[in-house]
Amino acid sequence: MTSLLAVEVPYWGQSLLRVLGGIVAVLLPAGTIVYVFLFKMMSFMQSRLGPMEAGPYGSMQLLAEVGKWLQKEDIIPENADRVTFKMAPLIVLVSTFLLVVVVPFGPDALMTDFQAGIYYALAIGSVSVIGILVAGWSSANKYSLLGGLRAAGQLIAYELPMVLAAVGVVIQAGSMNLQQIVVAQNTYEIFGLDWIGMPFVITQCVGFVIFMIAVQAELTQPPFDMPIAESELVSGYMTEYSGFRFLTFFIAEFATAGVFAFIASVLFLGGWGVPFSWFGWDTVDSVDNWMNVVGPIIMLTKMMLLVGIIMWVRFTYPRFREDQLQQFAWKVLIPVSILNIGVTAILKVAV
Amino acid sequence: MTMLNERQQLSYIAAQAADARLNVELETDGMTLNIGPQHPATHGTLRIIARLDGEQVVWAEPVPGYMHRGYEKLTEVRTFPQVTTLINRIDWLGSFANEVPFILAAEQLMEIEAPPRAQYIRTILFELSRIANIGLFLGDLGVQMGAVTPAFFGFRDREYVLNLIEGATGGRFHPNFDRIGGLKDDLPKGWINETKQVMKRLRGFCDEIEDLLFGNEIFQSRTRGIGVIPAEVAKSYGLSGANLRASGVDWDLRRDQVLPMAWDKADFKVWTHPDGDSWARCWVRLQETREATKIVDQLIDDLPAGPIMAKVPRIIKVPEGEAWVSTENPLGEMGYYVISKGDLGPFRVKIRSASFNNISITPWVLKGVYVPDIITILASLYFILGDIDR
């Protein structure tokens, strides 16, 4: 743990690296997602070019946007609850940073090796609800309030299928530690083929689909974007925010998309690892040091793949109505995920 | 109650009273939500006051008039040929269609009729503006429900129609092309071939929207059975156009009245739908777009030769009299009641625009729906703000 690329790093150095790593792991995906998907993929799907002026193919557009937002006037509505109004975007962004803490990016490239990692991640993931609810209430705006309440109802409803979908993985891996889940996927074998490992997306395909749907709802992306719903609630809880506070919400939205995709790729797609049999490894400690560099790249690739799917759905589907969404969660997703847990548990014991 | 003895009756009444007390205690104050005048779903500045109980609408009322431009009064100080400049700004998406009924009313008073070629071209441009109008509706429908992509497809393919209108008239939005007694110009060279290609493309667009949006399960669950308007109610509120046909009333002014236009020369079907819900209104409009492309194709094939202008005096004075002409515009029945005193301009013009009557049903149809459904119902009723406020 103390060596990174065969260089001894003192404790303060490790801490610094982890803080930097955390910031990079949150902001880099957010920026990449916004440019690649929100600016470019969306434009190509809609038969237009997207930003083309700032930098080659508009690649500097994001910086221009950030500059624009920072220059804007910071407006706080007169009747708003000032303290909580200012606090809300920070709560949302901080929950994203807390979330990335448990995600492993390599054998040693991780912020913290937490035994109950998945438990922690799913618990912290719903902290953002508080921020959204606070934002909706403190804005002193009816649309914001409706948006905040919708968000609360929706995120609570979709927290459950997400947890239940992850339980299947936990049962199969026999651990709640995200690092152990990665190791399990890369050391297990399926049908006696040890060279492909066993990414749980194969055995837990039902769980994977449920997890991705729940992530979509958790991120309030269409078709589950009733809390934002710009055509009816005029951006819901974000209506009254401007300038850098809106920017904070915006970064948090896409950073959370990235982090949830990281978690999904750890749970279902084998995380940072390659099948250990390729290089003759058997445990985490025996993994070569260069995986600390290759691992994050593998994670980033998988993350982009998953976010690509999330965004693809986002740009295509119209949105549900609030009650239809609740029905979908309680009547379809939760029963199916409970069934999935049962089947997984039986097979785990029987086989 | 009559079967119960006195003791049972008393206990029944007591139970009812207890329930009522409980309801009063638990009752929460409703919230009044102002949707608009600045709201993306109102296509401009329509304001809807909705009283909500939770997310359910208890009472709703539209407040038009934020964009009132006084066109009825303005026409009185214009000459007849000048009026078309004003009135094609009423429904700005299908502008040419606004000019036609007024010109027909003026021609009726002057007892002249446009030559056949002018009638054909008028009808073709009328149907093109219908496609331009409803093409935007079909794209916009998705945006109202959160699907962004169809809107751009709508704008993309509508652009071809606007190019055609621009090619023929010189104006994309406000052609001002119709004249008393005929048209300003003949069609430009190459226009007919291009129109044929564009019509083919638009049928493809209709198929695409049908796949992308109408075939989507979420879209169906958002529109089917939502905002049902029965035929009787629709008639009593004076709905017209696709909103009325979606309630199962087979009524289309293009087919049902005799006008000096070329619709009777084309073979088209008037679609109706028995359901009367949001889905039916959208679907009828989709079919209408398809029929419009077919009408254009047919009329272009047998476009007669000849002049495009009847003999009219250089200075147009309309004889004294009154005339009412209404046509089936993209949004519904649009008519002009023109009173002339024999001057250069009309003495009084009453404009009957379709959207004003179409949104008058909102208090009835919005009662009891949820807030997200307000948006889908308004989108499916389809109004243009200029058409409401004039």
pLDDT over 80 (residue A198): no
Interface residue B216 vs chain A (CB under 8 A):
yes
Does B44 score more than 80 pLDDT?
Answer: no
Query: Considering only alpha carbons, which residue of chain B is nearest residue A142?
Result: B33
Q: Give the tens place of pLDDT for each residue, A52-71.
A: 888 788 888 888 888 888 88
Mean pLDDT estimate for chain B = 84
Instruction: State yes or no: pLDDT of A99 exceeds 80.
Output: yes
Of B33, B40, B373, the CB nearest to A230: B40
> What is the band of A241 on the pLDDT scale with cuts at 50, 70, 90?
confident
Cβ distance A322 to B372 less than 8 Å, yes or no, reads yes
Among the partner residues A234, A322, A324, nearest to B39 by beta-carbon distance: A234
**Arithmetic mean of pLDDT over chain A:** 82
Distance of residue A47 Cα from the nearest chain B Cα, in angstroms: 7
DSSP-derived secondary structure for B295-331? HHHHHHHTPPPS-SB----SS--PPSEEEEEEEEETT
ipTM above 0.90, yes or no: no
List the structure tokens of B185.
Answer: 């110009």
Q: What is the mean pLDDT of residues A239-244?
A: 83
Tell me whether residues B149 and A146 touch, CB distance under 8 A. Answer: no
Q: What's the pLDDT score for residue B3?
A: 65
DSSP code at position A5: T
Q: What is the pTM of this model?
A: 0.78
- pLDDT above 70 for B6: yes
pLDDT at A1: 45
A320–B218 C-beta distance less than 8 A: yes
- Cα Rg for chain B, rounded, in angstroms? 24
pLDDT at B88: 84
Summarised one tens digit per residue, pLDDT across range A256-282 is 888 889 889 888 888 887 777 777 777
Burial class (CB in 10 A: 0-12, 13-18, 19+), B267: exposed
Cβ distance of B55 and A146 shorter than 8 Å:
yes
Question: pLDDT per residue over B112-164, tens digit each?
Answer: 888 888 889 889 989 989 998 888 888 888 888 877 788 888 888 888 988 88
For B384-390, what is the mean pLDDT?
82
pLDDT of residue A53: 85
Closest CB from B33, B142, B370 relative to A318: B142
Quick one: CA torsion of B213, B214, B216, B219, rounded to 10 degrees?
90
Answer for the pair A106, A47: CB distance below 8 angstroms, yes or no: no
Q: What gap in Å lies between CA B362 and CA B359, rounded to an integer?
A: 5
Strands (DSSP E) along B166-271, which ranges? 178-179, 182-183
Among B117, B249, B243, B242, residue whose Cα is nearest residue B183: B117
Please state, in angstroms and rounded to a whole number, the distance separating the CA atoms of residues B200 and A322.
39
Q: What's the mean pLDDT in B47-76?
A: 83
Distance from CA of A219 to the nearest CA of B (A): 15
Q: Looking at the predicted structure, is the pLDDT value of residue A5 above 70? A: no
Query: Cis link prior to B37 (omega < 30° from 0)?
Result: yes
pLDDT at position A194 is 67
pLDDT tens digits for B347-359?
888 888 888 888 8
pLDDT at A256: 87
Q: Is residue B26 pLDDT above 70, yes or no?
A: no
For residue B34, what is the enclosing H or E element?
A: strand B31-35
The token pair at B214 is 């109408």
Beta carbons of B309 and B182 less than 8 angstroms apart: yes
Q: For residue B2, what pLDDT is reported?
A: 55
- Mean pLDDT, rounded, for A162-183: 85
- Taking Cα atoms as reference points, which of B69, B66, B59 lies closest to residue B39? B66
- Distance of alpha carbon A48 from alpha carbon A266, whole angstroms: 35
Q: Which residues, 6 or more positions from A106, have their beta carbon under 8 angstroms from its beta carbon?
A: A272, A291, A292, A293, A294, A295, A296
**What pLDDT, in 10s, does the model give residues B246-304?**
888 888 888 888 888 888 888 888 888 888 888 898 899 999 999 899 899 888 888 88
**Among candidate residues B299, B240, B228, B226, the one with its CA nearest the CA of residue B268:** B299
The answer to whether residue B375 neighbours chain A at the CB level (below 8 Å) is yes
Q: Is the pLDDT of residue B69 over 70?
A: yes
Interface A:B, Cβ pairs < 8 A: 79
**Which is it for the CA torsion B337, B339, B340, B345, positive or negative?**
negative
Give yes or no for residue A325 having a pLDDT over 80.
yes
Is residue A2 scored above 60 in pLDDT? no
Coil, helix or strand for B51? strand
The pLDDT, as a whole number, for residue B23 is 63
Task: List % helix, strand, coil for chain B (3-state, nearest 5).
Answer: 50, 15, 35
Q: Is the pLDDT of residue A3 over 60?
A: no
Q: Which residue of B has its CA nearest to A48?
A: B152
Q: Which of residues 79-108 of B touch A (CB under 8 A)?
A: none
Mind telling me how many Å the CA of A304 is from chain B's nearest CA?
Answer: 21
pLDDT of residue B27: 59
User: Mean pLDDT over residues B311-317, rounded?
Assistant: 82
Tens digits of per-residue pLDDT, B170-211? 888 888 888 888 888 888 888 888 898 899 888 888 888 888
Span B57-67, average pLDDT: 83
The percentage of chain A sitting over the pLDDT mark of 90, rounded to a whole number, equals 0
Does the pLDDT value for residue A234 go beyond 80?
no
Rounded (5°) CA angle A238-A244-A248: 60
Interface residue B211 vs chain A (CB under 8 A): no
Residue B26, C-beta contacts closer than 8 angstroms, at least 6 positions apart? none
User: What's the token pair of residue A55?
Assistant: 């930098």
